[in-house]
Amino acid sequence: MRLENQVALITGGGNGIGRESALLFAAEGAAVLVVDVVDGAGQDTVAAIEEAGGQARFVHADVSKDEDCAGMVEACESAFGKLTVLFNNAGIMDGNDGDSQATSDEVWQRTIDINLKGVFLGCRHGIPALRRAGGGSVINTASFVALMGAATAQIAYTASKGGVLAMTRELATIHARENIRVNALCPGPLRTKLLMDYLDTEEKRQRRLVHIPMGRFGEASEMAQAALFLASSESSYVNGADFVVDGGITGAYVTPE
């Protein structure tokens, strides 16, 4: 049991990376607080964990709202007594997100509010809980596009994930002496509903696939395995890292300075 006696809070736990991570973390011994804005999806994740013999609760929260983030952390400590793994995973990818001319103020702000501000608020309220527990792991979902441009324009998304990466590095430095590690998970293109809805034509999908050396989209379950490593004591000396799991894209296209 790699997460025995651990308590994890996972935002966006109803689908994709969040759901797969919640199932895996619970199977590895963690009690899991599943957070989502879609109640049915979050409750389904909890039901699947409980059916497998694990411990889980669901909380509805909009991560762009300070009071919701405060409430989810309070609910976690109330239900399970502590918080030791904070996985700020919730995010959106708006189909109307394009280049700097095509992206509206509304799309820009909504994307930043959820993808970047949501991580900030999760850390604002979650890190004090980790401190109360004596330390723990923070995992922030960034993206390979935080390290390089996207083949299909999505300026708000890319900017939001770049911000997550920069914020992760600073938080990792600030809290390192408190036994709190902060790392960014940087997935490559995944075969999840979020990305497939955005890449809604075969042409768009092929534009992504052509850049992936492995020649396929990744799976949410593969990202969950990476998140498990970052959550566990196996990564005890990993802090402030850009943990890239992208099928080789950045290795092929980013030239070291």
Residues labelled catalytic: 157
Which residues are bridge partners to 233 per DSSP? none
Q: What are phi and psi of 150, to 5 degrees?
A: -90, 145
Sheet of strand 55-60, all strands in order from the earlier edge strand to the far edge: 55-60, 31-36, 7-11, 85-88, 136-141, 180-187, 242-245
Q: What is the distance, to the nearest Å, from the Cα of residue 104 to the centroid of all Cα atoms in its chain?
A: 25
User: 203: buried, middle or exposed (CB in 10 Å: 19+, 13-18, 0-12)?
Assistant: exposed
Q: Is 9 in a helix, a strand, or coil?
A: strand
Torsion of CA 166, 111, 64, 190, to 10 degrees: -80
Distance of CA 189 to the CA centre of its chain: 14
